[in-house]
Amino acid sequence: MTASDLFRPRLDSMIDLRHPLAILANQMPWNQIETGQIGRFRKAIGIELKQTFAKEVKELRRKAGGDAHAKQLRRLSRTTKRQRTIVSKLIREIEPKLCQVEQATPQALHGLRTLLARAAQIKDQHRKDKNKLYALHAPEVECKGKARQPYEFGVKRLP
């Protein structure tokens, strides 16, 4: 235990662990979520790839988070450009193979097609575009916030 750990507030004292969201977060299959949805659908359908980029994607995700936090915008743009390149390669490789698949269930094919469409939309969107997609798993999520405050993501509820 270091000196900084002694003065850091404990997370369980700041968060009520009996709250329904905290209970749900403990029950979530985080390992399966982090391995990636495209890989899960791809394996269910039976498509083989030349290269999965699994290690590089994991490293790029970590780098992008660190660069964004440190406000290293030029380095961040380099990592996001590489991420876009990888997504483009995966889409170009998977789409032609979808027509040749025979042993897939209709749900898995539909899931992979919608996921590829959302990934292409995220890859092609720009900063000033309207109707951006903020989350692959939930397309209804929007950005709510003011210019002077940090952004919050979620769904606007009607009163």
Q: What is the pLDDT of residue 34?
A: 47
**How many CB atoms are located within 10 Å of the residue 94 CB?**
20
14 is written with which tokens? 């700041």
Distance between CA atoms of 21 and 149, rounded to whole angstroms? 25
Burial of 3 (0-12, 13-18, 19+ CB in 10 A): exposed
Distance between CA atoms of 108 and 20, rounded to whole angstroms? 31
| pTM of the full structure | 0.65
Q: What is the pLDDT of residue 78?
A: 92
Nearest to 121 by CA among 112, 110, 132: 132
Nearest to 42 by CA among 133, 136, 118, 116: 116
Q: What is the pLDDT of residue 14?
A: 60
Maximum Cα interatomic distance, the chain, rounded to a whole number of Å: 60
Distance between CA atoms of 82 and 57, rounded to whole angstroms? 9
Per-residue pLDDT of the chain (159 residues; tens, 9 = 90+): 565 555 555 555 566 667 666 666 666 555 555 456 666 667 767 788 888 888 888 898 889 888 888 888 899 889 989 988 988 898 898 888 888 877 777 887 888 888 889 888 888 888 888 888 887 777 887 777 665 666 666 666 655
29-53 as b/e, with b when 16 or more CB fall inside 10 Å?
eeeeeeebbbebbbeebebeeeeeb
